[in-house]
């Protein structure tokens, strides 16, 4: 496969992803219930438990991230499906401060779709000055938690990808043109 074709393929794939991802990024999530609840103020925070509307893939790469007011990761990095429609992740044994924490999650449903969502809640329990983020993650990879700006940001990143692919393709095709003589150059693509 020529560099130009490869770049074109990458471009096509990215465009496909962009088209497919855009509507779902704006879609509502199907979180039915959770601990802690969105907007709640809690005094203890041992785990994050999410109950979803849809059956989950048994061994799907589900992710729950707990982010502190400082933006650091305070979950234990071990999200797992504990029931057909329930996800669980542990929190760090100690937390550094009270304030508004964020849960970001994504889950792979039994039919292969990715659901994602995010919410804030407040933590008003005990704190420890020596608390350190677990900093290790064994989950993830299969689905992606919305990291910043939600739907708008996702579009932004995809846009960056598309631009990169377009630039790459233009560069590759320019290179191709220079190397291949005009008689053959335009025919290599089929």
Of 72 and 162, which has the nearer Cβ to another protein? 162
Of 74 and 121, which has the nearer Cβ to another protein? 121
- Residue 136 CB, nearest distance to another protein (Å)? 26
Report d(CA 139, CA 45) in Å as an integer: 20
- Residue 130 CB, nearest distance to another protein (Å)? 26
Binding site for another protein (CB under 8 A): 4, 7-8, 11, 15, 19, 22-23, 25-29, 31, 34, 37-40, 100, 102-103, 117-122, 146, 149-152, 155-156, 159, 162-163, 165-167, 169-170, 173, 176, 185-186, 188-190
For strand 114-123 and strand 41-42, is the pairing parallel, antiparallel, or unpaired? parallel
What would the two tokens of residue 109 be?
């449903």
Of 59 and 70, which has the nearer Cβ to another protein? 70
Of 120 and 134, which has the nearer Cβ to another protein? 120
Give buried/exposed letters for 169-180 (b at 16+ CB in 10 A, else e): beebbeebeeee
User: Do 112 and 29 contact (CB within 8 A), yes or no?
Assistant: no
Q: How many Cβ atoms from other residues are within 10 Å of residue 184's Cβ?
A: 8
């Amino acid at each position: 496969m020529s560099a130009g074709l490869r770049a074109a393929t990458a471009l096509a794939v990215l465009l496909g992803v962009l088209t497919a991802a855009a509507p779902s990024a704006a879609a509502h999530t199907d979180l039915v219930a959770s601990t802690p609840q969105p907007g709640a103020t809690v005094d203890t925070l041992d785990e994050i438990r999410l109950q979803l509307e849809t059956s989950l893939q048994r061994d799907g790469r589900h992710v729950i991230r707990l982010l502190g007011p400082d933006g650091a990761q305070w979950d234990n990095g071990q999200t797992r499906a504990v029931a057909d429609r329930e996800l669980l992740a542990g929190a760090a044994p100690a937390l550094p401060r009270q304030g508004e924490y964020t849960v970001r999650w994504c889950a792979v449903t039994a039919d292969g779709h990715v659901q994602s969502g995010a919410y804030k809640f407040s933590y008003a329990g005990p704190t420890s000055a020596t608390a350190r983020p677990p900093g290790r993650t064994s989950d993830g990879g299969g689905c992606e938690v919305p990291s910043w700006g939600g739907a708008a940001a996702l579009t932004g990143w995809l846009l960056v990808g598309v631009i990169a692919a377009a630039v790459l393709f233009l560069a590759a095709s320019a290179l191709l043109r220079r190397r291949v003589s005009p008689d053959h150059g335009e025919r290599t693509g089929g």
